[in-house]
Amino acid sequence: VRNHDELVTGVLEGKRLALARLLTLIENDDPLGVSALDHLYAHTGHAHLVGITGAPGSGKSSLVNQIALLLRQTTGGQPARSVGIVAVDPTSPFTGGAVLGDRVRMRDLAGDEGIFIRSMASRGALGGLARTTASIVQVLDASGFDVVLIETVGAGQAEIDVARLAHTTVVVEAPGMGDDIQAIKAGILEIADILVINKADRPGLESTVRALRSIIELGHPTQLQQGPDNSPPLWSPPVLQTIATRSVGIGELVKAIDDHGQYLRETGLWQIRDRSRLEVELTHHIRTELMERWRTTLPAGLYQQMLDDLLARKISPHQAAKRLTQANS
Ligand SMILES: Nc1nc2c(ncn2[C@@H]2O[C@H](COP(=O)(O)OP(=O)(O)OP(=O)(O)O)[C@@H](O)[C@H]2O)c(=O)[nH]1
Ligand SMILES: [Mg+2]
């Protein structure tokens, strides 16, 4: 894959080599990647973007593998779907057999043309984790994958931002984590459309189920199934149980993901979520553009001078910012 057109055509045709090449260009902030993205953008907007987030080791990768395997089959009246997978900063690999005990099925996943897996290290994301992930997801979307699964470790704001890229966010917990309600990050629960307690074969399941259900009920009273007046019915996040290593509960999880997608489309929330996501992206690009323009016109030395003055308490940060932004206008 040499030039721009070849890259764009290759991605639109779902060619793996072109896909891999473009994703690398994007991760490296290469201008060729940016211009290819510009051309691909018109072809995005079809994939169901599903975020899978949760504490380290809760079984996200195992679940992603299982979900992908099931989506490749015709299930519950749904046709087989192609699946793009983005794993952000994975500590456990998707390929190599360690994730799935069943090596035969792992081989199926690795050799399946309808599945594309991309792992990215957050440290390597030059343009910021959320933005680089957004671009990678756009490429997979344009390439025609029906579902894009995005795995992130739910730890900080960056991961929550990544989760916000998704139409549907699945938060994965494991038994024991729910014992201490304080330990459950409110921010993570806030973004959950579906809650999964994986490792349901482990002790402590009941108390985790209870803890999560009570938190959900606080945020989503069951009496409020219908919102005020003509507003769409509210979505109450289901609390599901899975054993990823034994393929238990995966059908219910995939059904919940499909149901949520259908709910978003029927209520018009799909569009609303897309719009607010795109607004965040637009604002980011504007900020970057303006900063770059501002830097190039800044008088030499003024920035360092202002920093020195700040340090010496001669000027406040607010005053310094004013001086710096007015210097070039
Ligand atoms: N007992 C049990 N073990 C599981 C289950 N699901 C996953 N595991 C194991 O838990 C470990 C972690 O699983 P992963 O799928 O790598 O978890 P992860 O959340 O992706 O981990 P990170 O990406 O490192 O945050 C592996 O050893 C899995 O085999 C389950 O349902 N039951
Ligand atoms: Mg993982």
Residue from 52, 53, 61 to probe ligand 1 pocket by mutation (most atoms less than 8 Å from CB) = 61
* Cα-to-centroid distance, 122 and ligand 2 (Å): 13
DSSP, residue by residue, 212-274: HHHHHHHHS-GGGGS-STTSPPPP---EEE-BGGGTBSHHHHHHHHHHHHHHHHHHTHHHHHH
* Cα-to-centroid distance, 318 and ligand 2 (Å): 42
Q: How far is CA 239 from the centre of its chain?
A: 20
- Give the pLDDT score at 218: 72
DSSP, residue by residue, 89-109: S-SS-SSSSSS-S-HHHHHHH
- Tokens for 325? 């932004």
* Cα-to-centroid distance, 88 and ligand 2 (Å): 8
Nearest-atom number in ligand 1 for the CA of 153 is 25
Band (pLDDT 50/70/90 cuts) for residue 10 is very high
Nearest-atom number in ligand 1 for the CA of 246 is 31
- The pTM of this model reads 0.85
Q: Ligand 1 pocket by C-beta < 6 Å: which residues? A: 56-62, 90-92, 99, 153, 198-199, 201-202, 243-245
- Dump pLDDT digits (tens) for 271-326: 998 998 889 889 988 998 999 999 998 998 999 999 999 999 999 999 999 999 98
- Give the pLDDT score at 316: 98
Q: What is the DSSP letter of 3?
A: S
- Give the pLDDT score at 99: 39
Average pLDDT taken over every residue of the chain = 83
* Cα-to-centroid distance, 312 and ligand 2 (Å): 47
Q: Which residues lie near ion ligand 2 (Cβ < 5 Å)?
A: 60-61, 90, 92
Q: Tell me if 145 sits within 8 A of 176, measured CB to CB.
A: no
Range with lowest mean pLDDT among 61-75, 101-115, 117-131? 101-115
- Dump pLDDT digits (tens) for 125-159: 555 677 788 899 999 999 999 999 999 876 566 66
Residue from 53, 62, 85, 253 to probe ligand 1 pocket by mutation (most atoms less than 8 Å from CB) = 62
Nearest-atom number in ligand 1 for the CA of 244 is 31
Nearest-atom number in ligand 1 for the CA of 91 is 24
Listed in sequence order, the DSSP H helices in the chain are 4-12, 16-27, 31-40, 60-71, 103-111, 129-142, 157-163, 186-191, 205-219, 250-267, 269-297, 302-311, 317-326
- Dump pLDDT digits (tens) for 210-240: 888 877 777 665 444 555 566 778 898 999 9
- Give the pLDDT score at 228: 59
Angle at the Cα of 258 (from 257 to 259), degrees rounded to 5? 90
Burial class (CB in 10 A: 0-12, 13-18, 19+), 71: buried
